Amino acid sequence: MKVLFVCEGNVGRSQMAEGIFRELSHGKHEAFSAGTLVIKGDDHALKEIGVDASEYVREPVTQELVESADTVVVMARDETVPEYLKTSPKAIFWDVADPFEQSLEFTRRIRDQIRTHIEGLVTSM
pLDDT tens digits, 27-36? 899 999 999 9
Looking at the structure of the chain, the number of domains it has is 1
Structural domain boundaries enclosing 84 = 2-124
pTM of the model: 0.82
Instruction: For residue 37, name the pLDDT band (cuts at 50, 70, 90).
Output: confident
Distance of CA 28 to the CA centre of its chain: 18
Asked if 13 and 4 touch (Cβ cutoff 8 Å), the reply is no
Give the DSSP letter of residue 8.
S
Q: What is the pLDDT of residues 60-100, one digit of tens each?
A: 888 999 999 999 999 999 999 999 999 999 999 999 999 88
CATH of the domain at 96: 3.40.50.2300
